[in-house]
Amino acid sequence: MSHPNATLTPRTRLRLARLIVEHGWTCTAAAKMFMVAANTARKWAERYRTEGLAGMADRSSRPHHSPTRTREPVVRQIVRLRWRHRLGPVQIAGRLGLPASTVHAVLVRCRINRLSRIDRVTGEPLRRYEHDHPGSLIHVDVTKFGNIPDGGGHRYLGRQQGARNKRATPGLPRNAYRNPRTGTAFVHTVIDDHSRVAYAEIHADETAATATAVLHRAVGWFADRGVIVERVLSDNGSAYRSHAWRDTCAELQITAKRTRPYRPQTNGKIERFHRTLAEGWAYARFYPSETLRRAALPGWLHFYNHHRPHSSTGGKPPVTRLTNLPGHHI
């Protein structure tokens, strides 16, 4: 693609070349009209003669040969030190007797110039993926939030006032020391891999019965938006290893997949969504009660799906990737 300040765009090159080839203009006269050098006009005219319209397109400026490029054995040494010892360009350059700029250029070319792109366990580059259409894969998981006592919790009011509100909230169960327990809200979340469109429900547990019921409703919710779910990826929680989960996926004609044990990165999209959920909804503002916080969840999900820009979708809301959904922009 031509840069914004380019004198000749592909369309202008075509006009220039046609003046010379088809209308008999000299290269000097055509170059003067388009305010470029005569050699430039001669180049585009020659390409038009030999390649036609296709010759007017941009070409890569990469050289055919790079005789001073770092040799492959040295590149492997640099990569090995980066993976095994997580050394920076200066430390690697000192060990190998190379300029630090050369080492950095190799790390950039191999896409391991940032340590965040290297898996801490295996030392290998992180493999990022995205399925090519909505419904090809959905991620499921459960995240937990402590329930808010009447009057507000300790995050906004402090430990002492939060404890007083907890004691004043009627109907709370008590532990062995007679201290009230607000309990836990289990948020069952589902997110589409391609579009990042999210679905969530709050329940009192994370059992297989609850997880399968959420999957049933989530698949119906996506179907109402023109998305047919084909695969589901979960972690190795007991609910997702159960026979009920297996049978439900078979009934819905969905292929069930699980992450490798102790590898939450594989399900990283939904893990990142949980962080957004906590910052944007659960702890975003002061809630006087758990009931009010739960009532705010549907509105926040609508904002996330329909209005909140997402970096993975080019700065547009996730629902814009559901191209077969009428009125998705509302």
Structure confidence by residue, pLDDT tens digits, 288-298: 999 999 999 99
Question: What does each C-alpha distance from 248 to 33, 88, 217, 273, 305 come to in angstroms?
Answer: 71, 49, 12, 25, 26
Q: What is the Cα–Cα distance from 249 to 120, expressed in whole angstroms?
A: 33
Convert the pLDDT of each residue in 135-155 to its tens digit: 999 999 999 999 999 888 888
Q: Looking at the predicted structure, is the pLDDT value of residue 328 above 50?
A: no
- The CATH number for 138-147+183-321, chosen from 3.40.50.10490, 3.10.20.30, 3.20.20.140, 3.30.420.10, is 3.30.420.10
Confidence of residue 329 (pLDDT cuts 50, 70, 90): very low
Which region among 21-30, 39-48, 310-319 has the lowest average model confidence (pLDDT)?
310-319
What are residue 122's DSSP bridge partners?
A: none
Q: Where are the domains of the chain?
A: 10-55, 72-117, 138-147+183-321
Q: Looking at the predicted structure, is the pLDDT value of residue 49 above 70?
A: yes
Which region among 93-107, 126-140, 147-161 has the lowest average model confidence (pLDDT)?
126-140
Q: What is the Cα–Cα distance from 40 to 45, expressed in whole angstroms?
A: 9
Percent of the chain with pLDDT over 70: 92
228 contacts 209 by C-beta, under 8 angstroms: no
Q: Looking at the predicted structure, is the pLDDT value of residue 84 above 70?
A: yes
Q: Looking at the predicted structure, is the pLDDT value of residue 176 above 90?
A: no
Closest CA to 182 of 157, 143, 151, 214: 151
| Residue with the larger pLDDT of the pair 83 and 234 | 234
Q: Looking at the predicted structure, is the pLDDT value of residue 305 above 90?
A: yes
Confidence of residue 330 (pLDDT cuts 50, 70, 90): very low
CA angle 77, 82, 83 (to 5 degrees): 100
234 contacts 141 by C-beta, under 8 angstroms: yes
Helix (H, G, I), strand (E, B) or coil at 274: helix
Per-residue pLDDT, 218 = 95
Q: Is the dihedral of CA 258, 261, 267, 270 positive or negative?
A: positive
Helix (H, G, I), strand (E, B) or coil at 50: helix
